[in-house]
Structure formats: C-alpha cells, structure tokens
Amino acid sequence: MAFLKPVLCPVVCLCAWIITAAVTEDVPKAENVHWTSLDFKTILRWESKAMMGYTYTVLYSRAGADWIEHIDCMQLSEMECDMTNLLRPFNRTYTADIQTEHVEMDYNHDPEELTHTYSPEFNPYKQSNISAANFTVHIVNKRTVAVNITDPLTGIHENNKQLSIRDVFRKDLKYKISYYKSGSTGKKDIVSDSSVTEVPNLDTEEGYCFMVAAFIPSRPKSTQLGAWSKQLCVTGPRTFLHELSVGVWVGAVAILLVVLVIIIAVTVLCCRWCRRKRNDQVETPQALVPR
Ligand SMILES: *[C@@H]1O[C@H](CO)[C@@H](O)[C@H](O)[C@H]1NC(C)=O
Ligand SMILES: *[C@@H]1O[C@H](CO)[C@@H](O)[C@H](O)[C@H]1NC(C)=O
Ligand SMILES: *[C@@H]1O[C@H](CO)[C@@H](O)[C@H](O)[C@H]1NC(C)=O
Ligand SMILES: *[C@@H]1O[C@H](CO)[C@@H](O)[C@H](O)[C@H]1NC(C)=O
C-alpha cells in the first residue's frame, strides 16, 4: 500500500483544508458589538446571524496589554456578557474581542483562525452613564436652602460593600444643581463639590424648585453630566404681607373704596346741610324784618 501514500496525503490534506476553510468561512461574525454601562454595571452585547450550534468567547485587554479570558465569558450561548467585575482598574481603556466557535470545533483550535470581531474601546471611568440621584431640600433661613443628595450606588461590590459613585469618583465627582424661582422661567446653575450643600442668595418666601445631576468635569464633554433628577420645590414660611392672597387684597381694596365713597358722600351731604343751615340763619332775620 506504500505506493498509495504520495497520492493519499495531498488528498487528505486538501480535504482537511477544505473542511477548516468551510468552518471558518461560514461561521458568522458577531455584529453590532456595543457596551452598555449604567453606574458601572457594564455589559458587552452583540448580535449574530448564526442560529444554533455556535458559542461565543470574549477576550478582553487593557490597552496594549495581553488578551485575557475569564470563565464567566467563555463559550456563551447568549449574546452578552456582564463585564462589571472584569474591567479593573476602572480608569483604563479596554477592548474586547468576540470569537465565534462552532460547537463541534476542536477547542484547541488556533485562536488566530477563529472568526472574531473587535469591540469599540471602552473606559468605564469616562463612559459609564450615571443615573439620576435622589435628594432632599429644606429651608435653612430666609436666604438659604440646604440640598442633600444621596450618591447613586454602582454595580460594583468591594469587601461586601456596594460602592457609591462617590467611592469611585471621589474628588472628581461634583453635582450640578439647577433651580428657579416659582413662576419665573430663568434657571440658575451652581456646581457643588460635595453631596450636601447650601444654595445661598435666595428669597425663600417666593418658593424655589430644584433639580440635581452628577457632574464629572474630568470626563469628556459628552459624558460629563449624569441624568437629571426629578424636580423638588420648597416655599419658606411667609410673612404677613405674603400671606394675604389676591382675594384678600381685592377685598381690602373694595372695602377701602366703599369707605372712601362713604366719606365723600358724607362730606358732600354735610356741606349741603351746613350751607342750608347757614342760609336758614341768614334768611331768618330777614323774615323777622317787619314788612
Ligand atoms: C449612555 O446613555 C446614552 C443615552 O441614553 C446612550 O446613547 C449611550 O449608549 C449610553 N452609554 C453607555 C455606555 O451605556
Ligand atoms: C482617571 O483619568 C482622569 C482623566 O485622565 C484623571 O483626571 C483622573 O485623575 C484619573 N483617576 C484615577 C483614579 O486614576
Ligand atoms: C442627608 O440625607 C441622609 C439620608 O437621607 C441623612 O442620613 C443625612 O443625615 C442627611 N444629611 C444632612 C446634612 O442633612
Ligand atoms: C431613589 O429612591 C427610590 C425610592 O426610595 C429608589 O427606588 C431608587 O433606587 C433611588 N435611586 C437612586 C439612584 O438611589
């Protein structure tokens, strides 16, 4: 059979090559690879035209460093992987590479030969979206309102503690506080370094409405501002003049008018009566004059 060897070998090789080529060429690539990240909970998602029979393995790398695999993101049958706990440290730029594997593929396959798609770059510290914060407001005095913001919690747990965005951003975290006087449209913004602060130079008898948003000036412009909170309004205790409603004012003016009319009427009547009386006194002596 030795004479067959030279013939068989190229045929076998050719067949093996065809099979490999067929497998890698037909394997659909991951498409539309994108990061979704809210409060540092970061999920990598993708799409694929593949039906059954394929799995995905995510490799990721910190700019310039080696590719890393993690058991949580290997041979996935779903088209997403939660990378919240893998992208450490936060303040680095990462790239992921999604490899599509045929279920029947030899796992020791050369990774270079696998069908794969790179993700866009992602830096959690600079790009994770920040949700709206809860906050309270209360009046300190006639001129000042205190704003107390609760830092939103992140998806990161460390030492059994769920970190807040303050734990992650520290000094880089500011808040933008936007407010306006009730009934006016002019909004004002202030930036606060801390989560508990006071807004000065108000006239609290008028009432004000407030909104807050996390603000990270060290980030690129497009991701500096977190989501705006809902609006909260306060009105200070009112002094006597403010207490009077429009109705009361109208009533008071009406009463004043009535009083004024009465005074004028009385004065006019009085004058007429006085004049008549004087005329009577002038006439009476005449009447006494004998004809
Ligand atoms: C952040 O939110 C914006 C607006 O909703 C969205 O377009 C963007 O994809 C989000 N970014 C991430 C990383 O989730
Ligand atoms: C993260 O990067 C920003 C911008 O490069 C820098 O201002 C900030 O100090 C860095 N923070 C940390 C914790 O490395
Ligand atoms: C701010 O609010 C938190 C929780 O609502 C509360 O524990 C804290 O004492 C408040 N701080 C101030 C200064 O009012
Ligand atoms: C704000 O408070 C509500 C109810 O107390 C809670 O469901 C929500 O998760 C809080 N939001 C943040 C960002 O902490």
Sign for the pseudo-dihedral over CA of 25, 27, 31, 36: negative
The CATH number for 200's domain is 2.60.40.10
* Confidence at residue 284, expressed as pLDDT on a 0 to 100 scale: 54
In terms of DSSP bridges, do strands 94-102 and 54-62 run parallel, antiparallel, or are they unpaired? antiparallel
* Confidence at residue 9, expressed as pLDDT on a 0 to 100 scale: 46
Report the nearest atom of ligand 1 relative to the CA of 128. Answer: 13
Kindly tell me if the per-residue pLDDT of 125 is higher than 70: yes
What distance in angstroms lies between residue 289's CA and the mean position of ligand 4's atoms?
Answer: 103
Does residue 252 lie within any of the structural domains?
no
Top pLDDT among 144 and 108 is at: 144
pLDDT average, residue stretch 9-29: 52
What distance in angstroms lies between residue 37's CA and the mean position of ligand 1's atoms?
Answer: 7
Pair 139, 224 in one domain = yes
Q: Which domain holds residue 94?
A: 30-118
Query: Ligand 1 — pocket residues by CB below 6 A?
Result: 35-37, 127, 129
Kindly tell me if the per-residue pLDDT of 188 is higher than 80: yes
pLDDT average, residue stretch 216-223: 97
Token pair in block for residue 291: 């004809």
Pair 158, 67 in one domain = no
Question: Is ligand 2 within 6 A of the CB of residue 220?
Answer: no
Question: Is ligand 3 within 6 A of the CB of residue 196?
Answer: yes
Pair 143, 178 in one domain = yes
What is the tens place of the pLDDT at every residue in 232-271? 999 887 766 655 666 676 777 888 888 888 888 888 888 7
**pTM, 2 dp:** 0.74
Does residue 109 lie within any of the structural domains?
yes
* Confidence at residue 107, expressed as pLDDT on a 0 to 100 scale: 57
The band of 20, judged by pLDDT with boundaries at 50, 70 and 90, is very low
Kindly tell me if the per-residue pLDDT of 287 is higher than 90: no
Kindly tell me if the per-residue pLDDT of 146 is higher than 70: yes
Among the three residues 215, 235, 255, which one is the final residue of a domain in this structure?
A: 235
* Confidence at residue 53, expressed as pLDDT on a 0 to 100 scale: 85
Pair 163, 213 in one domain = yes
Q: Which residues contact 97 (CB under 8 A, 6 or more apart)?
A: 58, 59, 60, 61, 67, 116, 117, 118, 119
